[in-house]
Amino acid sequence: MSVTIGNLREWARTRAQEPALNDGTIRITYGELATRVGGFAAAAKTFPKIVGVLGENSVDWVIADLGLMAAGRTFVPLPTSFSKTQLQHVIADARVGLVLHDVDSAQKAAELDGQTRGLDDLTRRSAPLRDASIASGLPNRIIYTSGTTGAPKGVKIGQPQIDFMARALADAIGAGPQDRYMSVLPFALLLEQLCGIHVPVLVGGESRLVPSVAIATARGQPSDLAGAALEVRPTVSVMVPALLGLWLAGLDPVAGAPDSLRYVAVGGAPVAPWLAQAAWEAGIPVHEGYGLSECTSVVALNRFGERVAGTVGRPLDGIDVTISETGEIIVSGPSIMDGYLGGKNASASLLTGDLGAITPAGHLVVHGRCDNVLVTAFGRNVSPEWIEPMLIADPRIEQAVVLLDSELKLTALLGLNDEGMAWAARMAPDELTQHVVALCRDAPAYARPERVAIRPVNDLLTSGVVGPGGHIDRRCAVDCLPDIDARCVTNPMDETRNMESETV
């Protein structure tokens, strides 16, 4: 049984007229939310065991999440930022029997294989809210991370993990019915499902959704977060560093940040010390955290009133973190996933693939990944080995190296042959970038390089960027590009997977 559904029933009885959700279009109370979730769940009991949801943040999305949980169905969030190829992989891999979609995603859903159905008629139904156990052997939800290849990997999360994490997060930040949460990250992220839905419902608080910011975030576009914050006047929010930067840049010099704020968690990518400091000075109480989908999203978090700059805080209560002899972070506890879809069940401890250390006071410091995954400013994980083969499909491009620049934007360093150099000389920089984007059309927008640099391929060979057998020395590639931050090549100094390792 779900603790979230149990508490929702309680709030429907004791806080029926209190605000629960507001997405700017629809506002509903706890009494209304409970009956709508009950109506959805009643219909969902006739659905296949595994159901996908494709859509942007909305009250309907929340009802679907809670309704599938109450109906005992496995929920598979389908990120709208995924390409058609990735979505088809997820649907086939998870054996999704039905895809529910919002109005704006109807066309995209129609292009996918399998049965589809609109959300709107399901979320307007009313019925008493009951709770159902999920079928034996099935997880509560399957989360597909951005992964390190073009084929996302499914992480199985059970009901016990969801219940544990919702309670642990609420305790860590002191969440209560007085809180108003501002939701600005896509609900396809497990972190936002927890923070924007399950924690507020658990404690009886209000969740204010800002779909415009969430959609812009998913697409890597700017948004008026500063204006949204002044309108919503939240007490709590969670975001990625790129959003924090947009918030600071958009602050009105007179109005500033709302004085209602008490806690803002930031993660998903490195949080630059200067950015965090600037946020505090501007009245945005930033608290860094760290986690990954395989641990139900959060491992460690700077607590309210206990922030230690340069760390990601202490592990959540009930979670044990140790450091191996090689410096790898190992996590144990009730938040560990059930396992990867199609793989073995997870063990009691998880090797994270991240390097770190624990301070004498028990705060975790994360040094970076053991592999080459690049984490963009919007918190998206991109493997360069995934994108580089797409680039060298052009015969004029003999070698390609994907890096992050100092602003955490993807940059493609291209080694061109003689024909390629002559071709590039005739092109404007924007044309060259557009060509590179077109070469990466099978990848989602977040994984396509935003900047392009060219060199004769022989220069890459003689400088050691490309070695025998085509091996790429990514650190050596930094020397070819003066505006590339050496720390960003393989993220040795970042907080990789901070708060979330999924695609935004």
**Do 263 and 304 form a contact (C-beta atoms < 8 A)?**
yes
Which DSSP string corresponds to 485-499? -GGGSS-TTS-TTSS
Output the CA–CA distances (angstroms, integers) from residue 206 to 70, 195, 244, in the order listed.
20, 11, 22
Q: Dihedral (C-alpha) 257, 258, 260, 262: value to the nearest 10 degrees?
A: -10
Q: State residue 22 phi and psi, 5-degree precision.
A: -155, 115
Long-range own/partner contacts, residues 246-249 (CB < 8 A, 24 or more apart):
246/222, 247/279, 247/284, 248/275, 248/278, 248/279, 248/282, 248/284
| CA proximity to 399, closest of 427, 430, 420 | 420
Q: Which of 19-33, 145-159, 339-353 has the lowest mean pLDDT?
A: 145-159
For residues 187-216, average pLDDT: 95
pLDDT for res 388: 86
Instruction: Categorize the per-residue pLDDT at 407 as very low, low, confident or very high, splitting at 50, 70 and 90.
Output: confident
pLDDT for res 175: 97
Which tokens sit at 210? 């800002």
Instruction: Categorize the per-residue pLDDT at 478 as very low, low, confident or very high, splitting at 50, 70 and 90.
Output: confident
| CA proximity to 497, closest of 246, 293, 238 | 293
Output the CA–CA distances (angstroms, integers) from residue 385 to 18, 45, 73, 82, in the order listed.
50, 42, 36, 18
Which tokens sit at 189? 């992220």
- DSSP symbol at 343: S
| CA proximity to 55, closest of 113, 122, 125, 109 | 109
Q: State residue 377 phi and psi, 5-degree precision.
A: -65, -20
Instruction: Categorize the per-residue pLDDT at 500 as very low, low, confident or very high, splitting at 50, 70 and 90.
Output: very low
- DSSP symbol at 329: E
| CA proximity to 135, closest of 49, 24, 16 | 49
Query: What residues pair up with 169 in beta bridges, in sequence order?
Result: none
Contacts of 124 (CB under 8 A, 6+ apart): 36, 39
Report whether pLDDT(261) > 60: yes
Contacts of 379 (CB under 8 A, 6+ apart): 240, 241, 242, 267, 268, 269, 498, 499, 500, 504
What's the half-sphere exposure (Cβ side, CA atoms, 13 Å) at 461? 10
Q: What average pLDDT is seen over the chain?
A: 88
- DSSP symbol at 252: -
pLDDT above 90 as % of the chain: 64
| CA proximity to 190, closest of 104, 76, 310, 307 | 76
**Do 129 and 70 form a contact (C-beta atoms < 8 A)?**
yes
- DSSP symbol at 134: P
Burial label, 272 (beta-carbon count in 10 A; 0-12, 13-18, 19+) = middle
What's the half-sphere exposure (Cβ side, CA atoms, 13 Å) at 380? 31
Q: Which residue has the higher pLDDT, 150 or 105?
A: 105
Q: Which residue has the higher pLDDT, 147 or 283?
A: 283
pLDDT for res 479: 74
Would you call 174 helix, strand, or coil by DSSP?
Answer: coil
* Cα separation, 267 vs 437, whole angstroms: 27
- DSSP symbol at 253: T
Report whether pLDDT(138) > 50: yes
Go through 248-270 and write b for each residue having 16 or more CB atoms within 10 A of its CB, e for each that does not: bebbeeeeebbeebebbbbbbbb
Q: What are the structural domains, with CATH classification, of the chain?
A: 1-138 (3.40.50.980), 374-488 (3.30.300.30)
Q: State residue 171 phi and psi, 5-degree precision.
A: -65, -40
Instruction: Categorize the per-residue pLDDT at 476 as very low, low, confident or very high, splitting at 50, 70 and 90.
Output: confident
pLDDT for res 489: 42
* Cα separation, 264 vs 432, whole angstroms: 39
- For 340-349, how does the pLDDT look when each residue is reduced to its tens digit (9 = 90+)? 998 888 888 9
Report whether pLDDT(501) > 50: no
The percent of the chain in helix, strand and coil, each rounded to the nearest 5, is: 35, 25, 45
Report whether pLDDT(266) > 90: yes
**Do 38 and 66 form a contact (C-beta atoms < 8 A)?**
no
pLDDT for res 34: 98
